[in-house]
Amino acid sequence: MNKTWLITGCSSGFGRALAEQVLQRGDKLLATARKPEQLADMQARYPETCQVARLDVTQLPDIHAALEHVQRIFGRLDVVVNNAGYGLLGALEEFSDEQMRRNMEVNFFGAVQVIREVLPIFRAQKSGHIINMTAAAAISNYAGFSIYGASKFALEGLSESVAAEGKSLGIKVTCVEPGPFRTDFIKRSMERAPASISDYENTVGKFAGFLDKMDGKQPGDPTKAALAIISCVDAEVAPLRLVLGKYAIDKVERSSKMRLRELETWKEVGLSADGALA
Q: Which residues are catalytic?
A: 148
Among candidates 82, 208, 243, which has minimal Cα distance to 151? 82
Among candidates 69, 42, 71, which has minimal Cα distance to 55? 69
CA distance 153 to 107: 10
Strand partners, 6: 30, 80
Q: Where are the alpha helices (DSSP H) in 13-128?
A: 13-24, 40-45, 60-74, 97-104, 110-125
Residue 226 gets which letter from DSSP?
H
CA distance 226 to 69: 24
Contacts of 193 (CB under 8 A, 6+ apart): 88, 89, 90, 91, 94, 95, 99
Q: Do residues 81 and 15 lie in contact, with contact meaning Cβ atoms separated by under 8 Å? A: yes
Contacts of 221 (CB under 8 A, 6+ apart): 181, 182
161: amino acid identity, one letter? S
